[in-house]
Amino acid sequence: MKVAVVGAGWAGMAAAVEAAGLGMDVTVFEATRTLGGRARALSAAKPDGTSLTLDNGQHILIGAYSETLALMQRVGLELPHVLMALPLSLPYPDGTGLQTPAWAARWPAPLDALAAIATARGWTWGERLALIRASLRWQMAGFRCEPSATVESLCEDLPERVMRELVEPLCVSALNLPASHASAAVFLRVMRDALFGRGAAGFNASSLLLPRTDLTRLFPAAAAQWLQQQHDKTSRIQLGARITGLRAEGTQWRLTGDGIDQAFDRVIWATTASVAAQTLLAHADDNEALASWALSAHALGFTAITTVYAWAPGARLAAPMLALRAEPDEQAAPAQFVFDRGQLSPDDPAAQGVLAFVVSASTGERDDLQARVLQQGQRQLGLALQPWVTVVEKRATFACTPGLERPGALMAPGLFAAGDYVQGPYPATLESAVRSGLAAARLAKG
């Protein structure tokens, strides 16, 4: 069976690996020259002229990402070499916040999370107990709620400090929306797996896994190398190959583009939702199923993520990742987290002093955001920061709002969708992308 995968992001490469493993002849078409999609490497030069590979956005994984971790191992990655594992921890620069004690770091879920809550620095016992009670209440309800509920309404009984220092940062980082607009049902699924679920690959479910390498090398490049080594006669990856045409021919699908005109038994469409919708609407003709799917994808809303890379020579944070405080003037403190790239890559001299500030659900113009983030970093970290690179992904994730209907994996007979926006239990995460790719390949196999 000949299968085409359109798009070489995390979903597309997951689909390609799974399809090849199932015995299919796989061709991957990628419009750009870089693997990884919206989680890819980015080359840049520091203010002193030193070159360093960054990412188009700072990502983290968690120990509950079972499919992603298993797939990374499948393509030959040694996880301790590419991921730094930290126990559940959201410390602030002053040392307060949620931090799993060392003596509880290897406790099974949910004991490790309960220990972190019970010892949260700067919280009163009343605040700690309120969160523990809420967590147990969610567990007793099977981590289910009304589809129309927001995270804010779900947590309306929690103390203000718990909302401000834990729920809001977790919500905006996982769903890329503030608690007032985010789906409580999806938030609860993330909480269930992260706090009460089983970990994978030797990690606790709640472990925070920070990439030690760039996002292209973290999985997509390793997947491409695995395909070349394990399935060199039945798999191929074409970079700089943009697919612009799609047409049904009997039981096959014909793909066309610059220098491309091939028919395939199955096609897995693994681009962004907007690209998929635009392409399919332009070529749906009288195919009602295809037009309906494209309209569903086109109707999705999207939110932005901004990553501000700054440089402070000699800087070293108290931890590889710190939470940043909200301030009375919300516009003055847009970033929620900061990452110390030097601690993530201790053997790379160019990475020392490089900080990545993450602004989830970002709004506003790039230069203004960058200026506000640098001022926030100087206030909260006490560092003199030099601006470096600011990356704005305007359509970074779909807006995971209450009751959202996401497009399904089946676009039309023989044509399948893969991407973090496709129907599934998770918001727009790497795990969601990988799961969708694996599922699409299995559907293609039949």
Predicted pLDDT at 373? 97
Mean pLDDT over 277-296 rounds to 88
pLDDT of residue 225: 98
The answer to whether residues 437 and 12 touch, using CB atoms and an 8 Å cutoff, is yes
Cβ(381)–Cβ(93) below 8 Å: yes
Confidence of residue 165 (pLDDT cuts 50, 70, 90): very high
What span, in angstroms and rounded, lies between the C-alpha atoms of 370 and 197?
Answer: 37
In this prediction, residue 239 carries a pLDDT of 97
Stretch (H or E) spanning 268? strand 266-269
What phi and psi, each to the nearest 5 degrees, are found at residue 43? Answer: -90, 140
| pLDDT tens-digit readout, 390-412 | 999 999 999 999 999 999 999 99
pLDDT of residue 41: 96
What was the pLDDT predicted at 45?
A: 85
Residue 434: half-sphere exposure toward Cβ, Cα within 13 Å? 18
Domains 2-38+216-301+401-445 and 302-398 belong to one CATH topology: no
User: For 254-273, what is each residue's pLDDT tens digit?
Assistant: 999 989 999 999 999 999 99
pLDDT tier at 426 (50, 70, 90 boundaries)? very high
pTM of the model: 0.96
pLDDT at 89 over 80: yes
Neighbours of 318 (CB within 10 A): 13
Cα gap 214→415, rounded to integer Å: 31
Give the C-alpha separation, 404 to 167, whole Å.
Answer: 21
Report the share of the chain in percent with pLDDT over 70: 100
- Give the closest residue to 406 by CA, choosing from 423, 394, 393, 390: 423
Distance between CA 278 and CA 292 in Å, rounded? 12
Identify the pLDDT of residue 46: 77
DSSP reduced 3-state for 439: helix
Query: Under 8 Å CB-to-CB from 168, ≥6 apart: which residues?
Result: 178, 179, 326
Task: Report, as an integer, the average pLDDT of 158-186.
Answer: 95
CATH code at 302-398: 3.90.660.20
Give the model's pLDDT for residue 49. 80
pLDDT at 195: 86
- Give bridge partners of residue 84 from the DSSP assignment: 210
pLDDT digits (tens, 9 = 90+) for 208-248: 999 999 999 999 999 999 999 999 999 999 999 999 999 99
**Residues 6 or more apart from 238 whose CB is under 8 A from it?**
27, 28, 29, 30, 260
Lowest-confidence pick of 223-227, 294-298, 327-331: 327-331
For the chain, the first-to-last Cα distance in angstroms comes to 11
pLDDT band for position 289 (cuts 50, 70, 90): confident
Determine contact, residues 369/306, Cβ cutoff 8 Å. yes
23: exposed, middle or buried (Cβ count in 10 Å: 0-12, 13-18, 19+): exposed
For position 288, what pLDDT does the model report?
A: 86
What is the sign of the dihedral through the CA atoms of 421, 424, 428 and 432?
negative
Spans of all domains in the chain: 2-38+216-301+401-445, 88-205, 302-398
CA distance 26 to 264: 10
The pLDDT value recorded for residue 330 is 81
What is residue 198's predicted lDDT score, i.e. its pLDDT?
Answer: 87
Position 286 confidence tier, pLDDT thresholds 50, 70, 90: confident
Q: Return all residues near 427 (Cβ < 8 A) that are at least 6 apart.
A: 174, 175, 176, 183, 186, 190, 397, 400, 420
CA separation for the pair 37, 24 (Å, rounded): 23
149 band by pLDDT with thresholds 50, 70 and 90: very high
pLDDT at residue 293, rounded to an integer: 94
Predicted confidence at residue 92, as pLDDT, reads 96
Query: Mean pLDDT in the chain?
Result: 95
CATH of 2-38+216-301+401-445, one of 3.40.190.10, 3.30.920.30, 3.30.413.10, 3.50.50.60: 3.50.50.60
pLDDT score of 287: 82
Nearest CA among 352, 351, 354, 367 for reference residue 306: 367
Number of C-beta neighbours around residue 401 at 10 A: 17
pLDDT tens track for 40-52: 999 988 777 888 9
pLDDT at 15: 98
| Per-residue pLDDT at 285 | 76
Task: Give the Cα separation of 203 and 206 in Å (integer).
Answer: 8
